[in-house]
Amino acid sequence: MKLPKLDLPLFETKLPSDDTPIKYRPFTVKEEKILLVAQESKDSNQMVLAMKQIIRNCCVDVVPESLPMFDLEYLMLQVRSKSVNNNIVFTVTDQETEKNIELELDIDDITLHVEENHTKKIDIDENIYLMMRYPTIEEVAVFLNFATKNIENAEDGVEDLTATLFNVMISCIDCIVNGDEVQKMSDFEPEEVMTFIESAPGGTIDALRDFFDTVPTLRYEVKYVNANGNEKKVVLEGTETFFL
């Protein structure tokens, strides 16, 4: 006698970035094991791999490497909510009392946070401006590794790391608009793009940094009262909301 074949239901949601409809299924024990291993590792690279594998397995016709990071995180939360439930219980340590506090979040209460001054448009001069695209999971992973290596090895290879970070920033330029003419950066060689950016006015790099500093993120805030009777707030962003 054969073991029964289990049929999993399909659900539909829309991506926060552009309302594209996406069909997905709950994760199975196989995907849950991938998630648990990533949670226990506390390693950003392992978490990135886990996210890509779970989305690739559970979502229909989705290429995780092509999605903005916050879209990918949103899909992860939707898959998790249909696989287990909407509630995630987690523990934080109150800094004032140093006591552990158990909190609970509802996935439906997690929102996309967009900074008031955020824009994808970067002006070069009166007629020319850049339009950015949001970084993918692969590009975000470079940023995470950059930050980690800078902390762990502040004196070693900083110039190489900075160059790598700069290249990622440049790769997220979607197009250049010159009056009525729109040119996709993907149509040019990397050397051409770099030459153009290096000739841009001072302040362009700061504008690029501002874009990345204010990229939309999934955000959840929860308030609690600690043992001293003081009200506190915990803010979770991005992958923190499901790698708890």
Higher pLDDT, 148 or 41: 41
Position 45 scores a pLDDT of 78
Burial group, residue 214, by CB count within 10 angstroms (0-12, 13-18, 19+): middle
pLDDT tens for 137-190 read 888 877 666 655 554 554 555 566 667 778 888 889 999 999 899 999 999 998
pLDDT at site 100 = 93
Q: How confident is the model at residue 56 (pLDDT cuts 50, 70, 90)?
A: very high
Averaged pLDDT score across all residues of the chain: 86
pLDDT at 211: 93
Which residue from 98, 82, 86, 64 is spatially nearest to 11, judged by alpha carbons? 82
What confidence tens digit (pLDDT) does each residue in 187-244 have?
999 889 889 988 998 889 899 989 998 999 998 888 999 999 999 998 888 765 555 5
Mean pLDDT of 38-62: 88
Mean pLDDT value of segment 76-97: 89
d(CA 226, CA 123): 47
pLDDT at residue 133 in the model: 94
The pLDDT of residue 155 is 52
Q: Give the pLDDT confidence score for residue 151 in this predicted structure.
A: 46
Let me know if 46 is exposed, middle or buried by CB neighbors in 10 A (0-12, 13-18, 19+): middle
Q: Output the pLDDT for position 8.
A: 86
Q: How many whole angstroms separate alpha carbon 137 and alpha carbon 153?
A: 24
Q: Above pLDDT 90, what percent of the chain?
A: 46
Nearest to 44 by CA among 146, 136, 114, 134: 146
The C-alpha atoms of residue 73 and residue 112 are separated, in whole angstroms, by: 10
- The reported pTM is 0.82
Please give the pLDDT value at position 187. Answer: 93
Assigned token pair, 241 = 């909301």
